[in-house]
Amino acid sequence: SSADFHGTFRKQSLISVDASVSRTRQDYTGWHELCHHLCETADEGFRALLEDRYGLDVARELEEDLCHEGAGILLVPDHVLE
């Protein structure tokens, strides 16, 4: 994994990206992990809603898919592709 740590440190969120991977991979990973942070903090019930509705395993897959999608959109916005 190119993300070393994602969590809270002294009440601040911290995302550390592996410097040994390509700059493109670092950028993608940073945005991807930021999306996980948003899932975690934007609405305290977001993850619980997914878990209640779909079960833990599917909820994790859905969040992961959302984070992949979010990172892609942040790196290459739709207007760039048009």
Per-residue pLDDT tens for 72-81? 999 987 787 7
Full-model pTM: 0.76
Instruction: Read off the pLDDT of each residue in 14-40 and give the average, rounded to a whole number.
Output: 90
Return d(Cα 82, Cα 61) in angstroms, integer.
Answer: 29
Q: Which amino acid is at 4?
A: D
One-letter identity of residue 11: K
Average pLDDT of the segment spanning 22-30: 93
Dump strand ranges (E) for the chain.
3-9, 12-17
Identify the pLDDT of residue 20.
93
Amino acid at 27: D
Instruction: Report the Cα–Cα distance between both ends of the chain, in Å, rounded.
Output: 32
Give residue 23's pLDDT band: very low, low, confident or very high (50, 70, 90): very high
Tell me, what DSSP letter sits at residue 42? S
